[in-house]
């Protein structure tokens, strides 16, 4: 029995040594692959583009120190439509926040009257709000529409409100600090 065990161990060790050598895949050739994929075409040369800032000309006629008027050069093609003048750009306040404007439509002694006008304005699609005001007549409630980013937009809004609601408002600068107690 002892001889059988020794023989089994010897055969097992030989199997561990020689089986990986027999199954390593050496001598096996893969099947030949025929490809019909053509070679990649050469990449075209991409031109290097350097950005250039367009020339900007003023739309106004300039005068020199002798008070003689200089004429601006005429465009080469007169059929080209001139773009409209650029809209007024918002300005930043010292705090870095854009300056904003609103239209104050009125000041009311009765809070209910102010709230009624705010509701009427909101129902017509306007951004309306009210703020408490201090005046020589005592505390009042101001009714405002806005804010908008430029004074020109506020002036246009003022004219629209005058036509629609028959209220002559005034353009005022909007400030978040005024909201704090």
Please give the pLDDT value at position 65: 47
Q: Which residues pair with 170 in a beta bridge?
A: 104
Q: For residue 75, is it within any domain?
A: no
Percent of the chain with pLDDT over 70: 72
Residue of higher predicted confidence among 101 and 79:
101
| Ramachandran sector of residue 125 (left: φ over 0; alpha: ψ -120 to 50; beta: rest) | left
Q: Give this prediction's pTM.
A: 0.48
CA 146 to chain centre: 21
**Domain presence at residue 161:** yes
Is 108 part of a structural domain of the chain? Answer: yes
More confident residue, 22 or 162: 162
| Over residues 25-47, mean pLDDT | 78
Confidence tier at 66 by pLDDT (50, 70, 90): very low
Tell me the per-residue pLDDT of 102-144, one tens digit each, with 9 for 90 and over. Answer: 899 888 888 899 999 999 999 989 889 998 888 888 889 989 9
What confidence score (pLDDT) does residue 3 get? 92
Please indicate, yes or no, if residue 5 is contained in any of the structural domains: no
Tell me which residue range forms the domain holding 175. Answer: 100-179
Tell me the percentage of the chain whose pLDDT exceeds 90. Answer: 12
Comparing CA positions, the residue from 144, 137, 133 lying closest to residue 170 is 144
Residue 70 has pLDDT above 80, yes or no: no
Q: Is 61 a member of any domain?
A: no
Tokens coding 7: 């023989």
CATH number, domain of 159, equals 3.30.70.1070
Does some domain include residue 117? yes
Cis before 147? omega within 30? yes
Q: What is the mean pLDDT of residues 147-152?
A: 86
The sign of the torsion formed by the CA atoms of 116, 122, 126, 130 equals: positive
| pLDDT the model gives residue 27 | 67
Residue 37 lies in a domain: no
Q: Which segments within 71-179 are labelled E, that is strand?
A: 100-108, 128-135, 138-148, 170-174
Average pLDDT score, the chain: 77
Overall domain count for the chain? 1
Residue 8's pLDDT band, with cuts at 50, 70 and 90, is very high
Asked if residue 157 is part of any domain, the answer here is yes
């Amino acid at each position: 029995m002892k001889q059988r065990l020794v023989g089994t161990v010897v055969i097992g060790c030989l199997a561990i040594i020689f089986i990986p050598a027999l199954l390593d895949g050496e001598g096996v050739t893969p099947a030949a692959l025929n490809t019909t994929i053509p070679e990649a075409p050469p990449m075209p040369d991409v031109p290097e583009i350097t950005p250039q800032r367009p020339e900007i000309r003023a739309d106004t006629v300039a005068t020199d120190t002798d008070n003689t008027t200089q004429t601006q050069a005429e465009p080469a093609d007169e059929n080209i439509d001139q773009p409209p003048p650029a809209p007024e750009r918002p300005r930043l306040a010292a705090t870095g926040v854009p300056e904003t404007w609103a239209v104050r439509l009125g000041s009311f002694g009765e809070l209910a009257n102010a709230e009624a006008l705010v509701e009427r304005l909101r129902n017509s699609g306007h951004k309306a709000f009210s703020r408490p005001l201090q005046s020589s007549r005592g505390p009042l409630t101001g009714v405002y529409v806005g804010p908008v980013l430029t004074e020109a937009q506020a002036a246009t809004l003022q004219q629209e409100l005058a036509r629609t609601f028959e209220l002559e408002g005034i353009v005022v600068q909007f400030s978040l600090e005024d909201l704090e107690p």
